[in-house]
Amino acid sequence: MNIALIAHDKKKDALVSFAQENFDLLNKHQLYATGTTGGRVIDETGLNVTRCKSGPLGGDQEIGALVANGEINAIFFFRDPLTAQPHEPDVSALLRLSDVYDVPLATNEGTAAAVLLLIDKLDRE
């Protein structure tokens, strides 16, 4: 499966920790990420990640294009709900595309863990 990893600045540590804790499961899949998040995941976990641009520079839209083209199967987007984001329209567009194309979207660690468990179950079937 193709999984997108995205995190707002204040949530990058949480996403990196999630990737470290779930290395074995994530390592079985093709990972895509926005620029800074992808760089941190690569540096701190050793996972193979295809990096897009940074979110504010069009990375959210790049991931959205992958979703629209059927190339992403799940999105883990650790969002910071307490900080205004200058690229909020891009974020909203990505969330809308996940709904339009029925792509599971986890916006926090608990939901990401549940989605990853489902992905692992489907892999074993």
Identify the pLDDT of residue 109: 95
What is the rounded CA–CA span in Å between residue 21 and residue 37?
A: 16
CA distances from 85 to 7, 82, 90, 94 (A): 12, 9, 10, 14
Residue 69: per-residue pLDDT: 97
Residue entry with tokens 């650790």: 78
- Rounded Cα distance, 58 and 16, in Å: 21
> With bands split at pLDDT 50, 70 and 90, how would you rate the model's confidence at 5?
very high
Q: pLDDT value at position 104?
A: 96
12 is in an annotated binding site: yes
Third-level CATH fold of 2-124: Rossmann fold (3.40.50)
Residue 87 annotated in ligand binding: yes
92 labeled binding residue: no
Q: In what order do the strands lie in the sheet with 49-51?
A: 49-51, 30-33, 2-7, 74-78, 105-106
User: pTM higher than 0.85, yes or no?
Assistant: yes
Q: Is 70 annotated as a binding residue?
A: no
Helix axes 59-68, 88-100, angle to 10 degrees: 10
Residue that wins the pLDDT comparison between 18 and 57: 18
Active site residue 60: yes
pLDDT in tens, 51-103: 999 888 889 999 999 999 999 999 999 998 777 777 777 788 999 999 999 99
Domain boundaries, the chain: 2-124
Residue 107 marked in a binding site? no
pLDDT at 11: 96
Indicate which residue of 43, 60, 80, 90 is catalytic: 60
Contact 90, 8 (CB under 8 A): no
